[in-house]
Amino acid sequence: MQNGRAWGRFLSSVRLGALVVGIGAAVAATTPAWAEGQIQVYGGVNGNFSSDVSYHGSMSDTRKVSWEGKPFEMPPYWGARGIYWLDSNPNWGVALEFTHAKAYAKLNGTAAGALYDTLEFTDGNNILTGNILYRFTPWNFYGMRPYAGFGIGVTVPHVEVSLVGDPTKTFEYQLAGFAGQGFVGLEMPFGRNWSGFVETKLSYTHINANLKGGDHLKTDIWSPHFAVGLSYRF
């Protein structure tokens, strides 16, 4: 039953990511024929740095929390990006991106565990951004091409929070706050339209979650990512 729910939530995130990339592809498709569009999908890993978590409402409490990413557990880490490379300056591009990352609080034997029975963004700490990219001149070595970019947007986490001894549990997706990211990568073509890429990024998410009963939870999560993906140009 639990695996079935995990698959259902994973498929929900896939539909959201497909919508984002579809919008990006539609934008590229409406541009002149000589412009270049690109769709990228990737998997990989993410971690999370420790952060202060503040609980406000029936009480006020702030505690340091260590987070795990668990990228290979259901639902796994993944992302997708739709890019339009500007025809007037093809080294520059704009993109829409969806990243499905996760954050699980380490509770056993910690100060946070004395307060929280559940504290996680398991399905996941989803990030939606609009990006600006720059790709450098291809290298002579197999046509490899480095690129870099940054983006700003919003985080849409699946908020799962409950307190020790309290049966009330928040378990829902929320539009929770601001997100930003910076990344660098290396792309390698292996056909007319196809290429592979590796990428590392650092993301920031500000989460201001509404909890059942009218309380609030706030935290700021910095997350390093490493991704390996496939790209199609059209």
Of the candidate CATH numbers 2.30.180.10, 3.30.470.10, 2.40.110.10, 2.40.160.20, the domain formed by 2-233 belongs to 2.40.160.20
Tokens of 219: 């935290």
60: exposed, middle or buried (C-beta count within 10 Å: 0-12, 13-18, 19+)? exposed
The 8-class DSSP code of residue 87 comes to S
Q: What is the mean pLDDT of residues 99-103?
A: 97
Q: What is the mean pLDDT of residues 151-171?
A: 95
Tell me the per-residue pLDDT of 132-148, one tens digit each, with 9 for 90 and over.
Answer: 999 999 988 888 999 99
Domain boundaries defined on the chain: 2-233
Contact by Cβ (8 Å): 120, 104 = yes
Number of C-alpha atoms within 13 angstroms, CB side, residue 233? 16
The 8-class DSSP code of residue 112 comes to G
Least confidently predicted of 26-30, 76-80, 138-142: 26-30
Q: How does DSSP assign 207-225, residue by residue?
A: EEEE-TTS-EEEEEEEEEE
Query: What's this model's pTM, rounded to 2 decimal places?
Result: 0.85
Residues contacting 100, CB < 8 A, separation 6+: 13, 17, 75, 77, 78, 79, 124, 126
